[in-house]
Every structure is written in C-alpha cells, then in structure tokens.
Amino acid sequence: MTDNQESLNAQDKTPSGSATLPLRPPCERLSGHKSSVCSRSYFVVVMVFFHVYIINVIALLFYVHYSSGQEDASRSRDAPGSNHQRPESRRPPSKAEFLRDVSLTRVEGIRVGHVQRLSLVPGKVHEMRTLSLKPLLFEIPEFLSDDECRVVMQLAQLKGLMESQLMVQEGQEELAKELNLSPEEIFNLLDINQDGQLQLHEILTHSRVRDGIWLTPENLREIYAGLKADKDGNGLLSLEEFRVLSSDAFQRFLVQRGVKRSQLVRNSRHTWLYQGKGAHQVLQDIKERVTRLTRLPSTLVDLSEPLQVVRYEEGGHYHAHHDSGPVYPETACTHTRMAANTSTPFETSCRYITVLFYLNSVEGGGETAFPVADNRTYDEVSLIQNDVDLLDTRRNCDKSNLRVKPTKGTAVFWYNYLSDGRGWVGEQDEYALHGGCVVTHGTKWVANKWINIDPDYQRQARFQQLVSQQPEEMMMMASV
C-alpha cells in the first residue's frame, strides 16, 4: 500500500473523539440545517446594524434639539420685549442685531356675524361677534361692568376734561413765509389730482385738516362769494383766482363771521388716564383684559398710549377720520420718535389697534359709523360726491355702511393696519374710516385704548430696548 493510500485510509477511519474533520463551511457541513442557520446568522447581523443605526439617529436628534434650545434661549434673552436683557447691552443696537423673532397675533374674523367665545375674566365667558372684515372689526357686549364704567367716568371727571380741539389755529401765513412757498407751490400742494383747478373736495379736505373746521360745500360757496374768489362762479379755483387769496384768507373770513362748535371737526371734551403701576385697580384690570383680548405681548400694550376718556354733549360729534395714518420712509411714529434717529418733520400716531368702550347708553344718536365698511373698493375722491359727504357725521351718518349703537359696557375693536404677511404691521387699512354720529339726546361717554406699534420693526425694537434701559423717562415721553 502506498503512502497516499495509507493516508486516505487513515482519513476514512472515524473513531469517536479522535477523528480530524475537514475544514468546510458550516452550512456545507450541516446540510440538514443549512437554510435555517444561514438565515439566523444573517438576521442577527442585520439586527445589530439596525439597532446601531437607530441609536445613532436618536443621539443626533438629541444633539440638534439641545443645540436649538440653547440658541432659542440666547435669542429670547436678547429679544426686544424680553425681561432678560443682557446687562452689558447699554446702547441702541444696530438693525442687524434685531431678529424678527416676534409675531403679532391677529384675531380671525371668519365671516360677518361669526361669534367667538372668550375667557377674559375668571368665571365669565364673553361672546365676540364679527361686524365686518374690511376693516377687521369686532363687538364684545358686557366687556366692562356697570361699576367699571362708573369708576372710569368718575376718574375722568376728577382729573378734569379739556376741549378736544381748538377753534381756529392761527399763524399759518407766518408758516408759509418761513417755508418760502410761492402761490404756485401752494396751489400744486392742494391740487390732489393735478388737473390745474382746485375742486370743492380738495379745498374742504385742506381746511378740515389744517384749520380743524368742518366746512360743507355750501359753506365753501359762501366763502367764495364773500372773498370774491370764484370769478366765473363755477365752483372751481384756477391758479389765477387762487393768486389773489392770501394763505390765511379763509381763516380771517371765518374768524370775522364766527365759528360755531358744531362746525369743528370734533366737538367733545376729553382727558387721559394712566394705566401703569400705581393706577386705580379698575384701570389696570381693563389694560390686562385688553391684552388678553388682542392676544398681543403685554409689553406692546404697556408701552402704548394711556386710556383716553371722551364726553360728547348733546350736539357733539366727530367727523369720519382714521385713527392712524400711513407710514412712509420720511414719516416717524409719534410713540417711537426718540428711537427713530431722524429729524423728519412728519409724524403720525401709529395705532395698530383701536379698542373703544361705551361707558353709557346714549338716549339718541351717538353711533359709531363706518362709512365704507366692507365696500368692494375704496375711493377717497368718491367720499364727497354731489354734495353728499360721507365723512359728515352730522348729516350723513345714515348713509354709512355700518353703525354701532353705543350700549353701556360694550367694547368694539378693530385693526387700523393690515398684516404684512410675515407677522408684523402692514399698510394702513383705509376701510377703518370711522366717526361719531351727532348726539341728538343726552350725553355720550366713551373711552379709547390704542395699541401703538411701529410698522418699522427695527424702530419698535430700538424703542422697547431704550425703555428697558431708562424706563421712567421713556415712559413719560411715550405718554405725551
């Protein structure tokens, strides 16, 4: 037998415990369990990798969440309305330092007549009804209790009410001389549609804004006749006809003839009531309730105007107007003027929201009129047409699209600006035009709470930080 054959025979012998098995893959050796063993091994390997992957993903999510939390906390400490200002920040920051991390919540109107249930005070549910969508306008009955209405009126009487408007402002001629405006420049300033003639509504608008006198088209024709201004009698003033008039000719004529209170743009008396720390508890409660109603940050409400209380006697009225004006690059908001870093001569009251409270029920008249509420379009020129002046709340309140009857304790609130689509103040809502109808019987008491917000986010943020650094001084300036 050869060596090879011996070797083969030796390999074929398999005594128990001593035989040497050949090196084969386990699946080949255990043919009967080949598929099950391979499957289990593969399954174990896959599951190990799968669990490792899941653990890594969870760890990554925790890391991202923790990092974001730190960044958010840092931003909230630096936010303009935050109570956690960094102590080393003692200067007005640049625009780049303010991030748009604050959004203004707007109450949804849904549709006219829609009712929402609100929890504004403990143990009571208020119903808020949508009155219009243009402007976004709501009514809340029983917003104030009878006692609260009484206290506000008594506090206003105790402080003392003053005339809401002066009779005639003088000194316009001196102002024109200081600006060194020629008659042509003044004419072009008044000629809104630039047609080369001054129409009735252009003169009326100018007189109402400048002089505070509410002239009607008939009044204006009388003035033209008295001044012999309209030579051809067509009711229009050409540049040649305008040249013969001095800049305050209308005022002199009105002073000579005499101006009645009923001819003023606003015929009422008013005062302001501070609502901050130390104020009467009722005034503080009203401010907190307004904060919950509007769903705005309390800082914005705290830094807004004090509560204005107004009394209209019989015959009192307020012709249609906007509570706030459009804001242009050269215009500054009155409440943030100290933070505007500009010497612009143009200011406007940036009143984002108006909340109006009726402190008593009026016997006759006194409705709050919205002449163009929910109109399909807004056209300023069409407000005065064919001697029908929709702005005139003494004669044409019945022609307004919407009138709210003054009922004791009821509040109405509306937005004077649209949204910019990014959670901040947008353009002026022209449909928010409103006025107080003439009081025909009795007396009318109302209060206004305006919430002031600058459409320029950077200016509002700078203002809030300045107030946080010098609260007492800035709060006094903001209240003026």
The per-residue pLDDT string of the chain (480 residues; one tens digit each, 9 = 90 and over) reads 545 444 444 444 444 444 443 444 444 444 444 445 456 665 555 565 666 667 766 666 665 555 544 444 444 444 444 444 433 333 444 444 577 778 899 999 999 999 999 999 999 999 999 999 999 999 999 999 999 999 999 999 999 999 886 444 444 455 455 556 677 777 777 776 788 888 777 777 666 666 667 777 777 777 777 788 888 888 888 888 887 776 567 666 766 666 666 677 888 999 999 999 999 999 999 999 999 999 999 999 999 999 999 999 999 999 999 999 888 877 889 999 888 766 666 788 999 999 999 999 999 999 999 999 999 999 887 888 877 899 999 999 999 999 999 999 999 999 999 999 999 999 999 999 999 999 999 999 999 999 999 999 999 999 999 998 875 554 544 444
Separation between Cα atoms, residue 157 and residue 151, nearest integer Å: 10
Torsional sign, CA 293, 294, 299, 300:
negative
Q: Which residues pair with 121 in a beta bridge?
A: 124
For helices 471-479 and 457-469, the axis angle rounded to 10 degrees is 130
Amino acid at 325: G
Amino acid residing at 170: E
Q: How far is the CA of 100 from the CAs of 77, 78, 256, 312, in angstroms?
A: 14, 12, 56, 42
* Domain positions in the chain: 96-165+266-479, 172-262
Q: Specify whether domain 172-262 bears CATH 1.10.238.10.
A: yes
Pairing of strands 162-163, 269-273: antiparallel
The contacts of residue 403 (CB under 8 Å, 6+ apart) are 367, 368, 369, 370, 397, 437
**Whole-number Å distance between alpha carbons of 57 and 36:** 31
| Count of H-run helices and E-run strands, the chain | 14, 24
Q: 96-165+266-479: CATH homologous superfamily?
A: q2cbj1_9rhob like domain (2.60.120.620)
Instruction: Please compute, for residue 151, the number of CA atoms within 13 A of its CA located in the half-sphere on the CB side.
Output: 14
The answer to whether 237 touches 229, Cβ cutoff 8 Å, is yes
Distance of CA 430 to the CA centre of its chain: 13
DSSP code at position 143:
S
